[in-house]
Structure 1
Amino acid sequence: MNNNRRNFLKNTGLITAVGALGGLNYETMSNTNPQELIIGHNDFKYKVDKGWAKLTVNRTPLFNCHEMVQDQKGRLIMVGDHVANNILIFDKSGKLLDNWTLSFPGAHGLSLSKEGSEDFLIITDCGWYQDRSGQSKSQAGQVIKTDTNGRVMFTIGHPRTIGIYKDDEPFMPTETAVAPNGDIYVADGYGSDYIIQYDSKGKYIRHFGGKHNANPDHNLSNAHGVSVDLRDPKNPKLICTSRNESCFKFFTLDGKFLYKVELPGMYPCRAVFHNDNLYAGVCWSNDKEGKINWGDSGFVTILDKNNKVISNPGGNTPNYQNGKLQPTLAVSNPIFNHGHDVCVDEDDSIYVCQWNANHTAPIKLTRTV
């Protein structure tokens, strides 16, 4: 949404605050359903639309909605782990345009590779899934490059086959990122916590991270996400999620550790960039006693260009004391089950994919301020 429209909403008084609870602003929109909520903080507030996706679950069954990207045609492409519908493609109104599957019960990560005017998908099968009885199962993971119609270009398998993993090191990748030169970074977030770098054809270059470095800052713990940060074009960086440590760790593109950004109380997924800001789904948070709240405790967090948290839609107000972020919790009566990923479009709307959310479709957040 552009600034003119946001200013119009403010100046015409269409947004009326009616109360707050735990840092979450409960607001209604004039002449609309009074149950609609405005969430977020500072200049990043959003109207919640839980009915955005126009789906019939009998025709298009869902399990977990893991990640979403927007292609060059403006379509919103989502990966999920229902074997009948690994890929769902929407327009911005929520209409389903297409769907297809690779029959992966562990489909988890989705990245976009823009190659000229053509788009390709890098799909991550983590190998972990639940069967129909709810029992957890696991197998070796894989990474697959396809076109947007599902035609497979190549597959990256277990790193043991090229001699860079020991026999007892599991490979259960969760995410990929694509660099401007086409290099593919694979985050082994449910396996051995390495970041593995391949070239655009899937040829191994190097790996780093893992759990056994002398400097603990170089280690990763649940390396759930990986992203390329181009906000400073002269100094591109790789951002790796170390979810069990509640932080993002920044590396050079050749794997040298730079620094970390701590997000106390949050268990974030991958970093997503829009303009100068960093957005991330928070899968769950701690409770007031500092223990992990495994329940419906997810939200979205937004950081500015200096990596300072400026809004937590669905979470408590960002609170810095002496320059240090204080623990952030989900609000009571949470909007989200588990915020697994976000996609941000050209209007600044956010689409939130949820994990373990009773088979619900993504939620749209329309920016109002």
Structure 2
Amino acid sequence: MNRLACFLALFVLAALPLQAEKPQPVRMGAGDMTFDTVPGWGLRPDGNSPLGPTHGAVVIDKSGNIYTSAKAGVFVFSPEGQVIHSYLGPDYSNIHDMEIRQEDDGEFIYGARNQNAEGIKFNVHNGEIVLHLPFPKESGLDLKKFNPTAITVATNGDIYLSDGYASNHIFRFDKTGKYLSHFGEKGNDMRQFNTAHGMTLDTRYEPNRLLICDRNHTPKGRLLHYDLDGNFIEEVITGLGMPTSVSIQGDFVSVPDLQGRLVILDKSNRIISVLGHNPDPKKGGSFNVPQSEWIEGIFSGTHGSFWDKDGNLYVQDWNVAGRLMKLVRVK
């Protein structure tokens, strides 16, 4: 081949578009809590997220379908990552936290709608909203703002709704929505909350307890135990950054940290694994990380998580483009 032919061949090769390297799975964690990411899980065929801005939660139904809440509503994914359904519109927007429960008359999701000042309960199969929980005037409180951030349900059906972005009271209702009581207040003392942001029923203990994320408490980042009557039990752990929510499977608890990581606790509430740690302080805890700047295996505004029956984790970032990730547990 003469020099001209070589030059032309190199020119043609240089003009061809470069193929983007396909992201590879990233391994993270430690010991029994080691996970591999699933690159591209939950994205559309064109590679973009279907969600829009996310500031919500993740739950899984008994069939294994994954529900995540976004600004636009609730999206339902198959375990393989395809959107199979959605509940959209103003009645399903701004669900900041979710819990899922199998009850005698069906499977239901309970949601805390922060910007819409209410809790709701809806049927997972048809989306019918069967209960609204607005601010309970029967409490006798005079609140200037009601901004719920977390919700959970006891085995007897009592519902707990945390006003985490406002008064930091936690309101207790019976299963019909009747106000029963409230507890907690805003502050930095041991028995006060400075953003009671996340909450779940801690089934690792008998009787069950409330496990509450006190996100902005000084020193920052602690979990608390309260009994189901609203009595303080103990400070569980501190130094978690900005814990946003808690999800339990067996003896283990996953705790997203808004600053860009997820920690896993064991039955004794010790940290045994850290996932997705973001070393960049400008992106850890940032909502405005576009999809083009997502890094496989690195989280940004970690906000919600949930375990499936096989011990895999689904993690949602607080993110402008809408990020939901699947982490497969390494056996």
**Shorter-chain TM-score range:** 0.7 to 0.9
Question: Which segment drifts farther, 338-347 or 302-311?
Answer: 338-347
Q: Give runs of aligned pairs for residues 80-119 of structure 1, distance below 5 A.
A: 80-82=70-72, 86-103=73-90, 105-116=93-104, 118-119=106-107
Distance 1:34 1:189, change over 3 A: closer
In the alignment, residue 322 of structure 2 is paired with which amino acid? Answer: T
Q: 1:157 aligns with which of 117, 127, 134?
A: 134
The alignment covers a number of residue pairs equal to 292
Correspondence for 2:120: 144
Q: 1:52 aligns with which of 17, 23, 41?
A: 41
Q: 1:157 and 1:117 mapped to 2: Cα distance?
A: 23
The Cα offsets for residues 218-262 of structure 1, whole Å up to 9 and x where unpaired, read as 111110011111112x32111111000210010111111011123
Q: 1:275 and 1:243 mapped to 2: Cα distance?
A: 24
Using the size of structure 2 for normalisation, the TM-score is 0.81
Distance 1:156 1:314, change over 3 A: same
2:197 aligned counterpart, secondary structure: coil
1:302 aligned counterpart, secondary structure: strand
In structure 1, the gaps of 5 or more residues are: 1-31, 128-139, 285-297, 317-329
Q: 2:316 aligns with which of 353, 358, 361?
A: 353
In the alignment, residue 202 of structure 2 is paired with which amino acid? Answer: D
In the alignment, residue 75 of structure 1 is paired with which amino acid? Answer: N
Distance 1:105 1:146, change over 3 A: closer
Query: Does the CA-based 8 Å contact 1:342-1:351 persist in structure 2?
Result: yes
Correspondence for 2:180: 205
Q: 2:105 and 2:155 mapped to 1: Cα distance?
A: 14
Q: 2:172 and 2:68 mapped to 1: Cα distance?
A: 24
Query: Does the CA-based 8 Å contact 1:175-1:224 persist in structure 2?
Result: yes
Distance 1:358 1:59, change over 3 A: closer
In structure 2, the gaps of 5 or more residues are: 1-20, 279-283, 285-294
Query: Does the CA-based 8 Å contact 2:51-2:323 persist in structure 1?
Result: no
Greater strand percent: which structure?
Answer: 1
Correspondence for 1:264: 239
1:228 aligns with 2:218: no
Correspondence for 2:8: none
Distance 1:34 1:123, change over 3 A: closer
Q: 2:213 aligns with which of 241, 244, 254?
A: 241
Q: Give runs of aligned pairs for residues 61-76 of structure 1, distance below 5 A.
A: 61-64=51-54, 66-76=56-66
Query: Does the CA-based 8 Å contact 1:173-1:186 persist in structure 2?
Result: yes
Correspondence for 2:163: 188
Correspondence for 2:328: 366
1:315 aligns with 2:303: no
In the alignment, residue 208 of structure 1 is paired with which amino acid? Answer: F
Query: Does the CA-based 8 Å contact 1:68-1:342 persist in structure 2?
Result: yes
Query: Does the CA-based 8 Å contact 1:145-1:155 persist in structure 2?
Result: yes
Distance 1:352 1:61, change over 3 A: closer
Query: Does the CA-based 8 Å contact 1:113-1:182 persist in structure 2?
Result: no
The Cα offsets for residues 298-348 of structure 1, whole Å up to 9 and x where unpaired, read as 1111000000010011239xxxxxxxxxxxxx7xx7701111011111111
Using the size of structure 1 for normalisation, the TM-score is 0.73
CA deviation after TM superposition for structure 1 residue 167, in Å: 4.0
Query: Does the CA-based 8 Å contact 2:78-2:84 persist in structure 1?
Result: yes
1:162 aligned counterpart, secondary structure: helix
In the alignment, residue 342 of structure 1 is paired with which amino acid? Answer: S
Kindly name which structure, 1 or 2, has the bigger radius of gyration based on alpha carbons: 2
Query: Does the CA-based 8 Å contact 2:52-2:320 persist in structure 1?
Result: no
In the alignment, residue 237 of structure 1 is paired with which amino acid? Answer: R
Distance 1:143 1:48, change over 3 A: same
Query: Does the CA-based 8 Å contact 1:102-1:150 persist in structure 2?
Result: no
Correspondence for 2:31: 42
The Cα offsets for residues 251-294 of structure 1, whole Å up to 9 and x where unpaired, read as 1111110111233151111211011111111111xxxxxxxxxx
CA deviation after TM superposition for structure 1 residue 96, in Å: 1.2
Correspondence for 1:12: none
Query: Does the CA-based 8 Å contact 2:243-2:258 persist in structure 1?
Result: yes
In the alignment, residue 263 of structure 1 is paired with which amino acid? Answer: T
In the alignment, residue 256 of structure 1 is paired with which amino acid? Answer: N
Distance 1:360 1:50, change over 3 A: farther
RMSD value over aligned CA atoms?
2.6
Distance 1:306 1:79, change over 3 A: same
The Cα offsets for residues 156-208 of structure 1, whole Å up to 9 and x where unpaired, read as 1123x32432143x210011001111111001111111111111111111111
2:190 aligned counterpart, secondary structure: helix
Question: Which segment drifts farther, 242-251 or 73-82?
Answer: 73-82
2:196 aligned counterpart, secondary structure: coil
In the alignment, residue 216 of structure 1 is paired with which amino acid? Answer: D
